[in-house]
Amino acid sequence: MWNDFAEFILTQATENPTKIVEIAVGKFDGVYQYLKRNENIDIIKTDISPDDDEVIKDDITNPNLELYKNADIIYSIRPPSELQPHIEKLSQKVKGTFIIKPLCNEDLNIRSKKARLKNYKKASFYIL
């Protein structure tokens, strides 16, 4: 499923290079590692509590907008419900594609009517 999710993100990577930001990466960075292998991808990962040196410290409730400037794709995997409105607010400030992969039994905690459920192979997620 994670490879399918990463593969879908690559289908959206139309710029050369494509700037991608992962929000609230936590300890799982499998999708990041998959995407990072592509030479057309310029990717960063952020979290409020960086787990390694590759993670840039950022608080999505008060984001450093410079990190997201000119981002083509921004995604988050299983962001806590309380962070989802902040991701939505960031999506209104940044013109990129936003992808949220909630827990499989969780609804989104956002107000946007633009969010749509997408199924790609074995992966399900929302696009804003």
What is the span of the domain harbouring residue 27? 2-127
Q: Which residues 6+ apart lie within 8 Å of 37 measured at CB? A: none
What tens digit of pLDDT does each residue of 58-105 get?
A: 999 999 999 999 999 999 999 988 998 898 889 889 988 999 998 766
pTM score: 0.91
pLDDT score at 106? 66
Pairing of strands 123-127, 97-101: antiparallel
What tens digit of pLDDT does each residue of 20-70 get?
A: 999 999 888 899 999 999 989 999 999 999 988 999 999 999 999 999 999
Q: What angle do CA 122, 38, 61 make, to 5 degrees?
A: 70
89: CATH = 3.40.50.150
- ω into 17 cis (within 30 of 0): yes
pLDDT score at 128? 84
Q: How many domains does the chain have?
A: 1
Q: Which residues 6+ apart lie within 8 Å of 52 measured at CB? A: none
pLDDT score at 105? 65
